[in-house]
Structure 1
Amino acid sequence: MRLRMLKYGVVGLLGTLLHFALLYVLADAFRMEPVLASAIGFVIVLFVSYALNKYWTFQSSETGIGSFVKYTVVSVAGLLLNIGVMYTAVHILQWHYLIGQSLVILVVPCSNFIFNYYWTFRQQRRTDS
């Protein structure tokens, strides 16, 4: 399980970097509202991280869309959590959006790993490394 957590962390780090880059470009360069920009970044990262986690982290050979649907459900729950944290940070606490996004990366990845490990890719796991 430790190796999977490490791989999940690497994918999460790549996803986080991509998410921050998209957030910055959309919010600063295109003057998009930061909560919406963060949500769009989250959705784009969904596709990238699913592919990396399916084939590298969990080494799933499942065909079809079953695991993608589960992954999407977990990610949508994470997206709602992301939006809630960002809204609270930006609009209620009046913090800079990058501080809000920093809070998001402390909460969402942990909950997503647990659900993906025990639900999304559960049948595909053979042995833990």
Structure 2
Amino acid sequence: MLRSLLRNLLSGPVATQLRRFVIVGATTAGVQMALLWAFVDAGGLNYLVGATIAIEITIVLSYVLNNAWTFRATQNTGLHDYLAGLLKTNVVRGSAIPIQLGVLYGLVEFAAITYLIANAVAILISGLYRFVFDSLWTWG
């Protein structure tokens, strides 16, 4: 069963979506990291406050890119569907914020990892959660 799941992730029908989701995620993670640095180092905000603001900005950017490219076959079109999809992805990704912030906090405060590296790890950990729920609910 696990072998079948892994094979489908690499070459099955979900593989293309997963690869696109990862590309969009890597792009928006870069934007999120740059925003986080700007908010914390240039703006003087607490790293958790800066991360929360950066996450919300990249939630919207991720939705726009994923709707147009990753989930093109099932994309949300029309104003109502587009806004409903944006709301759904905000619920999915908003529910991932405690996961990401918890990992970020734990790595910074207890493992003494710098906040930017800790944030990158937190993005990776919460990424699978976001993919599963976005693909099933936002564009399902």
| Range class of TM-score, shorter chain | 0.7 to 0.9
- Structure with larger Rg: 2
Counterpart residue number, 2:96: 78
Counterpart residue number, 1:121: 139
| Distance in structure 1 (CA, Å) of the matches to 2:44 and 2:116 | 15
Secondary structure of the structure 1 residue equivalent to 2:113: coil
Q: How does 1:7-18 map to 2 (within 5 A)?
A: 7-18=20-31
The answer to whether the 8 A contact 2:103-2:118 is kept is yes
Cα RMSD after superposing both structures: 1.3
| Distance in structure 2 (CA, Å) of the matches to 1:24 and 1:66 | 31
Q: Which has the higher helix share?
A: 2
1:102: Cα distance to partner? 2.2
Given candidates 62, 71, 88, the residue that maps to 2:77 is 62
| Distance in structure 1 (CA, Å) of the matches to 2:139 and 2:76 | 10
Does residue 1:35 correspond to 2:53, yes or no?
no
Given candidates 60, 63, 86, the residue that maps to 1:50 is 63
1:91: Cα distance to partner? 2.7
The answer to whether the 8 A contact 2:71-2:139 is kept is yes
The number of equivalent residue pairs is 122
Aligned residues with identical type, % of pairs: 26
Q: TM-score, with normalisation over the residues of structure 2?
A: 0.81
Q: After TM superposition, which residue ranges in structure 1, 4 or more long, deviate above 4 angstroms?
A: none
Given candidates 100, 105, 123, the residue that maps to 2:118 is 100
| Distance in structure 1 (CA, Å) of the matches to 2:20 and 2:54 | 21
1:92: Cα distance to partner? 3.4
The answer to whether the 8 A contact 1:39-1:82 is kept is no
1:24-83 Cα offsets, whole Å, 9 max, x none, are 111111121111111111000011110111111101143312222211110101112111
Q: TM-score, with normalisation over the residues of structure 1?
A: 0.87
Counterpart residue number, 2:128: 110
Pick which of 7-16 and 91-100 moved more.
91-100
Q: Which consecutive residues of structure 2, in runs of 5 or more, have no partner in the other structure?
A: 1-13
| Distance in structure 1 (CA, Å) of the matches to 2:93 and 2:44 | 26
